[in-house]
Amino acid sequence: FLDGTGVHIGYQPDGELEEDDIRQRNGLKPKERMPRLNDPRGLMTCGFTSDADYIRFETTVSTDADQTAIAPGYLQKDWVQNGRRYFHYRMDAPMLNFYSIQSARYAVRRDQWRDPTTGQAVAIEIYYHPTHAYNVPRMADALKKGLTYYTKAFGPYQFRQVRIQEFPRYKSFAQSFPNTIPTSEGAGFISDLRDPERPDDVFFITNHELGHQWWGHQVVGGQVQGSSMLSESLAEYSSLMTCKHEFSAPLMQKRMRDELDQYLRGRRGERKKELPLMLVENQPYIHYNKGGMVFFALQDYIGEDKLNGAIKAFLTKTRYQTRPYTNTAEFVSYLKKATPDSLQYVVHDMFETITLFENQLDEATYTQRPDGKYDVRLTLRAAKMRADSLGNETPVALRDYVDIGIFGPDQAKKTEDYDASGKPLFFKKIKLTQPKTVLTFVVNDKPAKAGIDPYHKLIDRHYMDNVKAVAAGEGKGTVVAQR
């Protein structure tokens, strides 16, 4: 599983030299990372494997007598023979030619989730090292909440069981195979969740991998640009939405700030060329971090139900589709149909281009009014840019709806100056058209902080100047909103 592979049929392009400098030293021309979005041959090839699409899977695994072997499918029987233990698994429907096998001395937690609509029961099994039980209940809870959200938002779960199995921290990741999710001890099992003011990575990772049972196992793109958006970005979005319904807005702000940080670091280290999200060439900083941000922002702009409806319609149309496989051009067409004319620019900015922002709160002051309310005066700066694949930037006219927030006293114990963690006294999208805008708002309670895009829904390279404390001063200017 970690460093082994089985037999493949046919020529495997993944074995070719990829780095341009190494290819040049060997007399080879530069190699494109992936075929183009509409490449006919790429659309006839499964995005996961090139030698098979959906297969009928059955395996018998022999292991030590005191170990449990886990593989995709349903256990038909297990037995001991000549000091060895055997496990016979069979999947009852075609599945991707994409699987792994683990064996260890496991303890196991068993649970069950029931589909609230159909009543269908799904067995939950978590196999773990006997001394690593710390977060196992949290994983089971995450699976139940993920199954509930995903089946309602996107469509039915296709299996009768879901299993997580721990593997040693030789590597630290998790990966989703058909109804099995191998997870490193370092990717959840031994995470320290005692700080309630830090994002819960166990919940997030568990539901990201569960999301792949839809995005990657029900919907699969071809081996073309954008394919990893259909698997990784949608799994990231799915997990972020379960987090949205589980955690507070300040905790989600920290989660989105982490996504933004990782995206910005990734693009800074890009060795070839950055591409728009819908053309991503298996670049993790784009399909994970930018992808999660983009989808999370889009549901905020057009509405969670509307976005999920578009995604569900796409899944219904392309579920288990093979040759030709779908691509992101088809997917984005569903997003455009669900987006009002006034927000079509958001889809263009987020999926079809590389769009960056420089938003800043220059000044924030308040004065108390005779009626006991407060005038809050904000001086905002905003700029919008487009970047090409090499990072060259061009200014773009600003006609964008941007979140403006005013917050009460900070109730959290551990926050930074740029954390918007107080109670929202005012929060609304305001259309900005100028590089500098001065606005005055009326709020009922004394403000503590204010911000422009305070929850980091836009890709802003210097987000630490988005939020600041509101100081006592003179609240002059035109009142644009009251709360």
| Sole residue written with tokens 């926050």 | 415
Alpha-carbon distances, residue 106 vs 88, 101, 279, 294, 451 (angstroms): 17, 14, 41, 39, 49
469 bridge partner residues: 449
What was the pLDDT predicted at 477? 47
**DSSP states along 415-464:** --TT---EEEEEEEEEEE-SSEEEEEEEESS---EEEESTT--S-BTTGG
Among the listed residues 177, 162, 149, 153, the one whose alpha carbon sits nearest the alpha carbon of residue 316: 153
Q: Are 468 and 361 in contact (CB under 8 A)?
A: yes
What is the tens place of the pLDDT at every residue in 387-423? 999 999 999 999 999 999 999 997 655 566 667 778 8
AA identity, residue 443: V
* Three state DSSP letters for 380-395: EEEEEEEECCCCCEEE
Residue 474: its pLDDT value, please?
64
Quick: pLDDT tens for 125-157.
999 999 999 999 999 999 999 999 999 999 999
Alpha-carbon Rg for the chain in angstroms: 25
CA distance 438 to 364: 10
pLDDT at 299 over 70: yes
Cα separation of 221 and 379, whole Å? 45
CB 215 within 8 A of CB 234: yes
Q: Collect all residues with Cβ–Cβ distance below 8 Å to 333 and sequence separation of at least 6.
A: none
Token code pair at residue 317? 């149309």
Phi, psi of 481 (to 5 degrees): -160, 150
- The pLDDT of residue 35 is 96
Side chain identity at residue 264, one-letter code: L
Tokens of 433: 């058209």
Residue 469 belongs to what H/E stretch? strand 467-469
Higher-pLDDT residue of 136 and 482 is 136
pLDDT tens per residue, range 413-454? 556 666 777 889 999 999 999 999 999 999 999 999 999 999
pLDDT digits (tens, 9 = 90+) for 331-354: 999 999 999 999 999 999 999 999
DSSP strands (E only) in 106-257: 107-114, 121-128, 161-167, 180-184
- Tell me, what's the pLDDT at 50? 81
- DSSP one-letter string for 75-139: EEEEEEETTEEEEEEE-SS-EES----EEE--EEEEEEEE-TTT--EEEEEEEE-TT--TTHHHH
Give the Cβ contact number of residue 247 at 10 Å: 17
In the structure, what pLDDT confidence band is assigned to residue 368 with cuts at 50, 70 and 90? very high
- Mean pLDDT estimate for the chain: 94
The residues facing 156 across adjacent strands are none
Ramachandran class of 82: left when φ > 0, alpha when ψ lies in -120 to 50, beta otherwise: left
Q: What pLDDT score does 334 carry?
A: 99
Q: Is the pLDDT of residue 88 over 80?
A: yes
- pLDDT at position 4 is 62
CATH number of 355-482: 2.60.40
Tokens at residue 297, please? 């922002």
**C-alpha to C-alpha distance for 321 and 1, rounded to whole angstroms:** 27
pLDDT at 102: 96
Q: Which amino acid is at 38?
A: N
> In the numeric block, which tokens belong to residue 467?
């939020």
